[in-house]
Amino acid sequence: MWHSKKMGKFTLRFRPYTLELRHVFTVASFSRSTTPVILTELEYEGVIGYGEASMPPYLGESQDSVIQFLNKVDLSAFSSPWQTAELLHYVDQLEERNTAAKAAIDIALHDLLGKLLNQPFYKIWGFHPNRIPPTSFTIGIDTEEMVRKKVEEASTFKMLKVKLGLETDKMMIDTIRSVSNVPLCADVNQGWKDKHHALEMAHWLNERGVVFLEQPMPKEMMEENAWLTERSPIPTIADEACQRLHDIPGLHGVYSGINIKLMKCTGMREAKKMAEFATTLGMKVMLGCMTETSCAITAAAQLAPIVDWADLDGALLISNDLYKGMEVMNGQCLLKDAPGIGIIPRAQHN
Ligand code: MG
């Protein structure tokens, strides 16, 4: 099942895997019940780092495109994983896109480096794991009965994220509020097309305890999003509009903050730069994820101590996680004091 490539001192292995979602997941533009991923391993002097690429269909990457990219990678020119900046720059310039494929290498490399130092990566970065904000749990668009059921199942979470952007928006919020008082955040996934409607909704949501608004309108509607941000009683967050570090200057003044995801931004190294740059500009930082195994989620969580909001429920939404890593207890992310990104394969654990 594993493809294996020996490249000088490094060996890269990868294989496709399909994540099964616990519930069919619906957002403003589509529904799905599985997510394709590629699992990676990067070996150097007998030490193995784990990585992952997750490819929800709307991002334009597939298992085939990731495999194609990984087949192109040749690390034989690098004699040490400590040439980290140079190595990841080489990987990045191979293709313009393929951000998830790049993240699969970046995560495996960080895991490897942490294991070589025998320290968790959050410690190497100098972050305290107790600073992680509680993670939200996502409620997809669904019927009233299912929404109520999902919210009741999520009663231990201190924050819920609700997907909006269809005609059912007010029903979704009213239904959640009939069974829960926790703070909410709303992700519209570009679903609203009119700035006046968006502003009206921002006020309506604010009155119902929604604390921020993610990607209210299409990313192309820069002026309208800026107009809304100026007037909205709650912060606006760019998700679809924000992929990588170089996007941030153009978003300053258009949104109140950004949503960083490893699969959009090529991995942990750039994600950290983005969090620090956005914070410097006075923007809010949210750390999000795709549906992913505990590998990519735990990798993202290394950065969570320096963000304003964490949305790291991706591994909780699947039924066939292959790794044991960050755990969520009463809505709080718990990072282990384990080297690298701190995950172990489940088969070995059991
Ligand atoms: Mg989003």
Give the model confidence (pLDDT) of 40-66 as tens digits. Answer: 999 999 999 999 999 988 788 999 999
Residue 55 in contact with residue 100, Cβ under 8 Å? yes
> What is the Å distance from ligand 1's center to 189 Cα?
6
Residue 140 is predicted with a pLDDT of 87
**228-269 confidence digits (pLDDT tens):** 999 999 999 999 999 999 999 999 999 999 999 999 999 999
Pull the structure tokens for residue 341.
Answer: 């990104």
Query: How many percent of the chain have pLDDT more than 90?
Result: 93
Cα(8) to ligand 1 centroid in Å equals 40
Question: What's the average model confidence in pLDDT over 304-326?
Answer: 96
Work out the pLDDT band at 27, boundaries 50, 70, 90: low
**In this model, does residue 26 exceed pLDDT 80?**
no
187 Cα: distance to centroid of ligand 1 (angstroms) = 6
Q: How far is the CA of 235 from the centre of ligand 1 (A)?
A: 14
Does the reported pTM lie above 0.75?
Answer: yes
How close is the Cα of 240 to the center of ligand 1, in Å? 7
| pLDDT average, residue stretch 276-296 | 98
Distance from Cα 327 to the centre of ligand 1, integer Å = 22
At 101, list the tokens: 């494929």
Q: How far is the CA of 192 from the centre of ligand 1 (A)?
A: 13
Distance 55 CA to ligand 1 centre (A): 15
Quick check: 72 pLDDT over 80? yes
Question: Is residue 349 over pLDDT 50?
Answer: no
pLDDT at 28 over 80: no
pLDDT score recorded for residue 91: 98
Q: What is the pLDDT of residue 1?
A: 85
Could you write out the DSSP letters of every residue in 146-212?
HHHHHHHHTTT-S-EEEE--STTHHHHHHHHHHH--S-EEEE-TT----HHHHHHHHHHHHHTTEEE
Say how many Å lie between the CA of residue 28 and the centre of ligand 1. Answer: 10
Ligand 1 centroid to Cα of residue 253, in Å, is 19
- pLDDT bracket for residue 350 (50, 70, 90): very low
> What is d(CA 161, CA 154) in angstroms, rounded to the nearest whole number?
11
Ion ligand 1: residues, Cβ under 5 Å: 187, 214, 239
Residue 305 Cα, ligand 1 centroid: separation in angstroms? 20
Q: Which amino acid is at 83?
A: Q
**Ligand 1 centroid distance, CA of 20 (Å):** 20
Q: How far is the CA of 113 from the centre of ligand 1 (A)?
A: 30
Query: Does residue 106 carry a pLDDT above 60?
Result: yes
Cα(116) to centroid(ligand 1), Å? 35
How many whole angstroms from 214 Cα to the centroid of ligand 1? 6
C-alpha–C-alpha distance, residues 341 and 3, integer Å: 23
Separation of CA 266 and ligand 1 centre (Å): 17
| Across 95-108, average pLDDT | 97
Alpha carbon of 271 to ligand 1 centroid (Å): 16
Contact residues for 200 (Cβ-Cβ < 8 A; gap 6+): none
pLDDT, averaged across the chain: 95
Spell out the residues 6+ positions from residue 66 whose beta carbon is closer than 8 angstroms to its own. 14, 38, 53, 55, 98, 100, 101, 104
Tell me what pLDDT residue 25 has: 73
**Residue 253: alpha-carbon gap to chain centroid:** 23
Ligand 1 midpoint to CA 101 (Å): 20
